[in-house]
Amino acid sequence: MRVFEGLPASNGQVAGPVYIFRKKGCEQVPEYEIDDTLIDSEISRLADAFALTRNQIRSLSAELSKRVSGTEASIFESHVMILEDPMVIEKCQRNIKDKMCNAEWAVNNITAEYAAIFEGMEDEYLRERANDIYDIGNRLIRNLQGESDSGSTQILKPCVVVADELSPSETIALPRHLILGFVTDRGSMTSHASLISRALGIPAVVGIVNLSEIARTGECVLVDGTSGKVVLNPDQSAIDELNKTSAFTKSFNDSLEELKNKQGLTKDGISVPLLANIDSSTAMTDLYAVGAEGVGLYRTEYLWLSLKREPSEEEQVEAYTRVLRSLSADQEITIRVLDLGGDKIIMDDQCANNKEANPFLGNRSIRYLLRNLDVFKRQLRAILRASAHGKLQILYPMISVLEELREANKILDDCILELHQEGVCFDEGVKRGVMIEVPSAALIAESLAQECDFFSLGTNDLIQYTLAVDRLNETIARLYQPAHPAVMRLIDITIKAGHENGNKITVCGEMATDPVMAVLLFGMGVDEFSMTPNTIPLVKKVFSCISRDDAVKMADKVRSMNAKQADQIYQYCKNKLLELAPGVPL
Ligand code: PEP
Ligand code: MG
């Protein structure tokens, strides 16, 4: 048994077999069982890999004989002979059938069997031939793996995915119904893969250096996404402990059921709308299940990431309308225009510039859109067209200078005029909002507020850019401090400027999912919160235990704690909340 401590990225406890996920091109042998419906397809995959491997070796052999002569030139002949030996392929096929294992696993077994025979021989030359066997086996496995685009198609039964790192597009490509949990060597609480795990309600721990090298597919692992603990090959007492924690989590979650159909309210009846952050893959039924009061952030870039291209205007109209139609008439959706860039990159696609040295400081988000007006216009037209079907507002991400807001508004006005002339039906008074996620935007919030209708605080990026801490880098995660006085001050400035102009203030960053921070932000003046859907019930519960006055007092105290460290500020708020909401796990 080995115990590891990482960063708790998504709540919940789970136990299951490890599945080592590696990016294409890495050396590894995924081993998993298949069911009998897949035997034929595994056998044909195996046959293809043998054929491809034979061709590769023949051309290597031809290439070699051009350069050398004599026995060296014939070293590949024995490889071809092995690959053409019907016994070898038949043994692999039988392994697939008898052991119900994947082709890679079968090749690995047979390679080991043959290599062991050679390794046991007395003759040194023949003993050396074991290396040839391994060589062929590795090549076959590489070819088998090269056929699939990612590890996703190889996951056939429930497992805990252990990876070096997962990009957002890799995470969404995995078969969700089979993923029990995630553990990654790298990444942080606000990396997009962590956000996706939270959105899916899948326990996740990130930042366990080298676990993907240490663990092996099939080994048992316990994941506690609430505490950040991971146990590999656990003993019985570790399993019992996990079951106890998980039973407590479950019974507390069950107790939240009654809040599902109620709106977010403080103890003294002040409304605190709790909205959902979604993307194109969110099941809208999940929003009913948690009692979301609307959608405060629709991350549209996931449409691009899942299609690996720009969706057409029609495809976008369809996607946005579908979400609108699944909300009730009084519920609103905030659609954020494309936020590609940073870690959200479409590989091999011109849509995103993935060659930048500093993608988080580069051609990301609104910057990309303002340089690609055709893409921007198609998206704005699609959003406007969808607005005919319900309550919708538009959100601009990553605004850092006033000119960007002005340019974006101008393009939006052009699209409004165009659709008007085309006689298309849409909401001409659609509201436009600015994400405050760059410190400069917070500092010029007064000017921005005059040219938009609402602000949405993107605290994930606001913290990253204010503190110069890469939100993905686990080695500096301790410096990523939501309660840092500098972050608090920027939020205060934003709220004041927004309210003076009559703008509503939402928080859509992950700070909203932490009840401690949500209460503090409410006390600072935030009007509504948008978060990972699964966290809505807990946050709703906590708000029902406090009054507005409690929250305002907490915020006032924090303002006077400027000289304190972030962890002291956080601990103060947490202790206060533990008093106000006893028994709630914080
Ligand atoms: C944020 O930065 O807080 C935010 C909500 O945007 P994203 O996490 O998509 O960058
Ligand atoms: Mg952001």
- Specify if 481 maps to a domain: yes
CA-wise closest residue to 193 among 305, 321, 33, 292: 305
Residue 316, token pair as written in the block: 């976008």
pLDDT at 547 over 60: yes
| 279 C-beta closer than 6 A to ligand 1 | no
CA distance 299 to 320: 11
For residue 528, the SS3 value is strand
Residues 433, 506 within the same domain: yes
Q: For position 66, what pLDDT does the model report?
A: 63
**In DSSP terms, which residues pair with 20 in a beta bridge?**
162
Which atom of ligand 1 is nearest to 508's Cα? Answer: 5
CA-wise closest residue to 198 among 271, 278, 128: 278
| 389 C-beta closer than 6 A to ligand 1 | no
Q: The domain spanning residue 61 has which CATH number?
A: 1.10.274.10
CA distance 8 to 187: 11
Q: For position 392, what pLDDT does the model report?
A: 97
CA-wise closest residue to 384 among 339, 429, 450: 429
What is the per-residue pLDDT across 512-525, written as a single tens digit (0 to 9) for each?
999 999 999 999 99
Which domain, by its residues, includes 215? 2-23+150-245
Question: What percentage of the chain has pLDDT greater than the value 70?
Answer: 92
Contact 18, 218 (CB under 8 A): yes
What is the per-residue pLDDT across 106-150, written as a single tens digit (0 to 9) for each?
998 899 888 888 888 887 667 767 777 877 887 888 788 774 434
Judge whether 425 counts as a catalytic residue.
Answer: no
CA-wise closest residue to 308 among 447, 408, 172, 437: 172
Q: Is the dihedral of CA 353, 359, 362, 367 positive or negative?
A: positive
| Angle in degrees, CA 386, 389, 392, rounded to 5 | 65
Distance from the alpha carbon of residue 365 to the mean position of ligand 1, in angstroms: 11
What is the per-residue pLDDT across 425-444, written as a single tens digit (0 to 9) for each?
999 899 999 999 999 999 99
The DSSP symbol for 434 reads E
Q: Would you tell me how many other CB atoms lie within 10 Å of the CB of residue 486? A: 15
SS3 content of the chain, % helix, strand, coil (to 5): 55, 15, 30
Higher-pLDDT residue of 477 and 466 is 466
Residues 125, 165 within the same domain: no
Residues 110, 187 within the same domain: no
- Identify the residue whose tokens are 């494309």: 338
Helix ranges (DSSP H) in 233-300: 236-255, 284-290
| 481 C-beta closer than 6 A to ligand 1 | no
| 550 C-beta closer than 6 A to ligand 1 | no
Residue 405's pLDDT band (boundaries 50, 70, 90)? Answer: very high
Q: Which ligand is nearest to the CA of 459?
A: 1
Judge whether 508 counts as a catalytic residue.
Answer: yes
CA distance 154 to 181: 16
What is the per-residue pLDDT across 166-215, written as a single tens digit (0 to 9) for each?
876 677 667 888 999 999 998 887 777 787 788 778 999 998 988 998 99
Residues 158, 288 within the same domain: no
For residue 373, the SS3 value is helix
- Specify if 304 maps to a domain: yes
Distance from the alpha carbon of residue 110 to the mean position of ligand 1, in angstroms: 49
Q: The domain spanning residue 316 has which CATH number?
A: 3.20.20.60
Q: Which ligand is nearest to the CA of 195?
A: 1
Question: Which one of 35-49, 138-152, 543-557 scores highest in mean pLDDT?
Answer: 543-557
Residues 389, 478 within the same domain: yes
Cβ neighbours of residue 144 closer than 8 Å, sequence gap 6 or more:
45, 46, 49, 103, 104, 107
Strands (E), 196-342: 204-206, 220-224, 229-232, 274-279, 295-299, 332-336
What is the count of structural domains for the chain? 3
Residues 229, 268 within the same domain: no
- Name the active-site residue from 351, 508, 545, 573: 508
pLDDT at 481 over 70: yes
Residues 439, 509 within the same domain: yes
Residue 32's pLDDT band (boundaries 50, 70, 90)? Answer: confident
- Specify if 251 maps to a domain: no
Q: Which ligand is nearest to the CA of 299?
A: 1
| Angle in degrees, CA 183, 533, 490, rounded to 5 | 90
Q: For position 315, what pLDDT does the model report?
A: 96
Higher-pLDDT residue of 76 and 34 is 34
Which atom of ligand 1 is nearest to 437's Cα? Answer: 2
Distance from the alpha carbon of residue 458 to the mean position of ligand 1, in angstroms: 5
CA distance 134 to 129: 9
Strands (E), 24-176: 159-163
Q: Would you tell me how many other CB atoms lie within 10 Å of the CB of residue 479? A: 14
Distance from the alpha carbon of residue 317 to the mean position of ligand 1, in angstroms: 23
Residues 455, 330 within the same domain: yes
> Atom 8, ligand 1: which residue's CA is nearest?
460
Cβ neighbours of residue 178 closer than 8 Å, sequence gap 6 or more:
155, 156, 157, 158, 159
Question: What percentage of the chain has pLDDT greater than the value 90?
Answer: 58
**Domain boundary pick from 123, 144, 165:** 144
- Specify if 28 maps to a domain: no
pLDDT at 546 over 50: yes
The pairing of strands 204-206 and 504-507 is: unpaired
CA distance 83 to 201: 46
Q: For position 362, what pLDDT does the model report?
A: 92
Residues 518, 552 within the same domain: yes
- Specify if 252 maps to a domain: no
pLDDT at 349 over 80: no
Residues 360, 268 within the same domain: yes
- Name the active-site residue from 79, 92, 159, 192: 192
Average pLDDT score, the chain: 88
The DSSP symbol for 72 reads G
**Domain boundary pick from 109, 144, 179:** 144
pLDDT at 306 over 90: no
Contact 461, 475 (CB under 8 A): no
Residue 28, token pair as written in the block: 């590894």
CA distance 120 to 113: 11
Q: What is the pLDDT averaged over residues 385-410?
A: 98
The CA–CA distances, whole Å, from 380 to 64, 389, 540 equal 58, 15, 33
- Specify if 391 maps to a domain: yes
- Specify if 30 maps to a domain: no
Residues 339, 443 within the same domain: yes
Q: What is the pLDDT averaged over residues 546-567?
A: 93
Residue 348's pLDDT band (boundaries 50, 70, 90)? Answer: very low
Q: Which helix (H) or strand (E) holds 16?
A: strand 13-21
Q: What is the pLDDT averaged over residues 455-476?
A: 94
Residues 354, 282 within the same domain: yes
CA distance 383 to 388: 9
- Specify if 586 maps to a domain: no
Q: For position 238, what pLDDT does the model report?
A: 92
Distance from the alpha carbon of residue 510 to the mean position of ligand 1, in angstroms: 8
Question: Which one of 53-62, 165-174, 236-245, 566-575 scores highest in mean pLDDT?
Answer: 566-575
Residue 53's pLDDT band (boundaries 50, 70, 90)? Answer: confident
CA distance 510 to 299: 14
pLDDT at 480 over 80: yes
**Domain boundary pick from 245, 270, 300:** 245
Contact 396, 405 (CB under 8 A): yes
